[in-house]
């Protein structure tokens, strides 16, 4: 199964707007209690999320997983830091790339693959404001071209 395939739960569209994605890596998440049930109900928000490497381990910050409605007093903290499950070589490579100026690691997608919640993280380079405008302009032109071809055919 190629990267990113599975039942898509959430996508971070803001990341592709604010960053140029250089590389992607699939990682598992360490979840507690009712978090997987909340994720299966699409109760997750990746918008402000980012990844940091601490003591040789990768952690996911600022990803909001809403409490499970049918849960009880053992429900989780929505914004808690979650550990990512990755191979040592992947973490080391990511750490080396992150040291470069302007590089960040952001979550792009969350999906269910073989019963497990996976997160697709992207090594990203920040875009300048004019780059963002250029991207929007290009997207708009492509949309107009496809409409024109669609109307013709």
Residue extents of the structural domains in the chain? 7-127
pLDDT of residue 38: 86
Tell me the per-residue pLDDT of 14-55, one tens digit each, with 9 for 90 and over: 888 788 888 899 999 998 878 888 888 888 888 888 999 999
CA dihedral sign of residues 144, 126, 81, 57: positive
pTM confidence score:
0.77
Write the pLDDT tens digit of every residue in 47-82.
888 999 999 899 999 988 888 777 666 677 778 899
Q: Which CATH number fits domain 7-127: 2.40.280.10, 2.30.60.10, 3.90.1640.10, 3.40.50.620?
A: 2.40.280.10
- 64-65 vs 82-85, strand pairing mode: unpaired
């Amino acid at each position: 199964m190629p990267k990113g395939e599975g039942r898509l739960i959430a996508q971070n569209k803001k990341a592709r707007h604010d960053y140029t994605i250089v590389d992607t890596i699939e990682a598992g998440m360490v979840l507690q209690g009712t978090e997987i049930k909340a994720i299966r109900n699409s109760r997750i928000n990746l918008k402000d999320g980012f990844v940091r490497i601490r003591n040789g381990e990768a952690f996911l910050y600022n990803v909001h997983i809403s409490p499970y409605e049918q849960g009880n007093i053992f429900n989780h903290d929505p914004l808690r830091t979650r550990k990512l499950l990755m191979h040592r070589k992947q973490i080391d490579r990511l750490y080396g790339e992150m040291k470069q100026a302007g590089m960040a690691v952001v979550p792009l997608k969350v999906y269910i693959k073989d019963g497990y919640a996976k997160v697709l993280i992207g090594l990203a380079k920040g875009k300048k404001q004019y780059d963002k405008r250029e991207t929007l302009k290009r997207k708009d032109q492509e949309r107009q071209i496809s409409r024109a071809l669609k109307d013709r055919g």
